[in-house]
Amino acid sequence: MSTGNADFRDSGLVFPEGFTFGSATASYQVEGAAAEDGRLPSIWDTFSKTPGKVWNGDTGDVACDHYHRWESDLDLMAELGLDAYRFSIAWPRVIPTGTGAVDQRGVDFYSRLVDGLLERGIRPVATLYHWDLPQTLEDAGGWAARETVDAFATYAEVMGRALGNRVHTWTTLNEPWCSAYLGYGQGGHAPGRHEPAAALAAVHHLNLAHGRAVQALRATSAGDPEYSVTLNFHVLRGEGEGAGEAMRRIDALANRAFTGPMLRGEYPADLLEDTASVTDWSFIRDGDLADIHQPIDVLGVNYYSTATVRMWDGVSPKQQNDGHKAAGGGTAWPGSNEVVEFVQQPGPYTAMGWNIAPEGLEELLLSLREQFPDQPLMVTENGAAFDDVVAADGSVPDPDRLDYLRRHFTAAHRAMTQGVDLRGYFVWSLLDNFEWGYGYAKRFGIVRVDFDTLERTVKDSGRWYARLAATGILPE
Ligand code: GCO
């Protein structure tokens, strides 16, 4: 495959030596082989097989068949010249029932994957949890139950012993906001529950799982990996009277509900007050906050678009334009559902209907530096879905995605020139893949996947990215 990028010119924006250019995927979204080598169902296997939950009835049964094609996918990354690969480990492959017996075939798959990356000079960035909770644990309460935290800590120990001598960066969780609020509150993600109190219990148990996993990984990793967590931050704008109150409420629920415990060792007082009508937070036990508040080497930042909120009058038709990654109704804002609404933002939009606002990424990175001045950052996801068209010659021109990436990398560079300690950037995604509630209808890849043949084709955005990764200079 040629990444011939002669037709790109340099913009003059130079990223520092050692800046990491990577790409990201997730187990349920790309692996397929859903019942192979002992893997048992996750909540997403159950959810995607529940009629009406996922567009077109799509499931992750085959996905991109990365489970069998991982070597050629790693060759693709090597040919693109990427420095690192952010992937996730499927808990139900490694410990199929969530607790108890380890299936060595699952461990061996990830061991081969890590070795394959290292052989190609690509750094492994491994996420322990990217939403595929073993169904048996959900049957016992899922993230609303404290027992799941203990199971996660044990799973972390198993993976620390197995891969901790070779993984470059451990990421405990991907986007606990989605797991908790979309999974247990809004219901548009697995397990599809509509229980606001359970969603807040899940917030706490996911925070606790993060802290316990960092401790477990540190105790069992023979190498010297970095430790991280990946959060999807809401970058908020406000409208109308009470705009500040609307933004404060959502910032507490979406952002500070996680950064507070993880990076400050406390829940924000306003979050507890705003949600007092939903729960008394009595699921927090003595010592939990100290367990959660573990030092991390880098904070993973996922950013796609902004959100605009305003106080709702409780009477006029309520807007719900909060860009969920989920189809379906319901709202994910316990304690603020009845007082805040998300309003339509001006375009342009990606195929997800999310606005294109690169300035929001610069603003977010600067804000995180201000809040946590000594915390190195990593963009662990940024990318865009657009409806690609394959050209007659088989190439995939994707100018919209290329422009989106160019503008967001420019925004990140602007933040760095203002002092943000940004260590790297992972494009979501390496491959077109299973986009949760939207199934295969939304394509985020810099590499196209033909879901009939599973053939991969590098898109123009992939060739553009290869030029950036090779030179460190942003191509026009
Ligand atoms: C997420 C997930 C990815 C999504 C991507 C596009 O951040 O939601 O990590 O799995 O596919 O963000 O929605």
What integer pLDDT is reported at residue 329 of this predicted model?
A: 62
Distance from Cα 182 to the centre of ligand 1, integer Å: 12
The neighbour count for residue 307, using CB atoms within 10 Å, is 21
Distance 2 CA to ligand 1 centre (A): 28
* Per-residue CA distances from 467 to 48, 197, 327 (Å): 37, 48, 36
Per-residue pLDDT tens over the stretch 10-57: 888 999 999 999 999 999 999 999 999 999 999 999 999 999 999 999
- Among candidate residues 131, 21, 85, 127, the one with its CA nearest the CA of residue 435: 131
CATH number at residue 182: 3.20.20.80
CA distance 141 to 239: 38
For residue 181 the two structure tokens come to: 């609020």
Residue 450 CB burial class (10 angstroms; 0-12, 13-18, ≥19): exposed
Structural element, H or E, at residue 178: none
- How far is residue 212 CA from its own chain's centroid? 20
Could you give the 3-state DSSP secondary structure of residue 353?
coil
- Whether residue 339 contacts residue 365, with contact meaning beta carbons closer than 8 Å, is answered with no
What integer pLDDT is reported at residue 319 of this predicted model? Answer: 84
Residue 270 pLDDT: 98
Dist. CA 397–CA 444, nearest whole Å: 14
* 370 C-alpha to ligand 1 centroid (Å): 26
The sign of the torsion formed by the CA atoms of 452, 454, 455, 461 equals positive
Task: Give the Cα separation of 130 and 15 in Å (integer).
Answer: 29
- Whether 255 is in a domain gets the answer no
Q: Tell me what pLDDT residue 4 has.
A: 46
Query: pTM for the full model?
Result: 0.97
Q: Which amino acid is at 240?
A: G
Atom of ligand 1 nearest to the CA of 436: 11
Residue 111 counted as domain residue: yes
HSE of 304 in the Cβ direction (CA atoms, 13 Å)?
A: 23
The per-residue pLDDT for 407 is: 98
The rounded distance, in Å, linking the Cα atoms of 339 and 334 is 10
Which residue in the list 31, 138, 157, 175 is annotated as catalytic?
A: 175
The answer to whether residue 251 is domain-embedded is: no
Q: Which atom of ligand 1 is nearest to the CA of 444?
A: 6
Q: Does 316 fall in a domain? A: no
Q: Where do we find the tokens 């090779």? A: 470
Report yes or no on 309 lying in a domain: no
Domain containing 363: what range? 20-234+355-471
pLDDT in tens, 348-395: 999 999 999 999 999 999 999 999 999 999 999 999 999 999 999 999
| Ligand 1 site-directed mutation target among 128, 379, 436, 440, most atoms within 8 Å of CB | 436
Q: In the annotation, is 273 catalytic? A: no
Distance 371 CA to ligand 1 centre (A): 25
The torsion defined by the Cα of 107, 109, 111 and 115, in degrees rounded to 10, comes to 180
> How far apart, in whole angstroms, are the C-alpha atoms of residue 101 and residue 49?
26
In a domain, 174, yes or no: yes
**Closest Cα to residue 378, out of 368, 390, 363?**
368
Residues with CB under 6 A from ligand 1: 26, 29, 174-175, 178, 232, 302, 325, 381, 428, 435, 444
Q: How many CB atoms lie within 10 A of CB 471?
A: 15
* Burial status of residue 392 (CB atoms within 10 A of its CB: 0-12, 13-18, 19 or more): exposed
Low-confidence residues in the chain, pLDDT < 50: 1-5
Tell me which of 182, 381, 433, 444 to substitute to probe ligand 1's pocket, judged by most ligand atoms within 8 Å of the beta carbon: 381
For residue 10, being part of any structural domain is answered with: no
Number of domains in the chain: 1
Give the number of residues written for the chain. 476
175 in catalytic set: yes
Residues 167/114, Cβ–Cβ less than 8 Å: yes
> 280 in a domain, yes or no?
no
**Contact residues for 286 (Cβ-Cβ < 8 A; gap 6+):** none
At residue 275, what are phi and psi to the nearest 5 degrees? -105, 10
- What is the CA(313)–ligand 1 centre distance, in A? 32
Tell me, what's the pLDDT at 318?
86
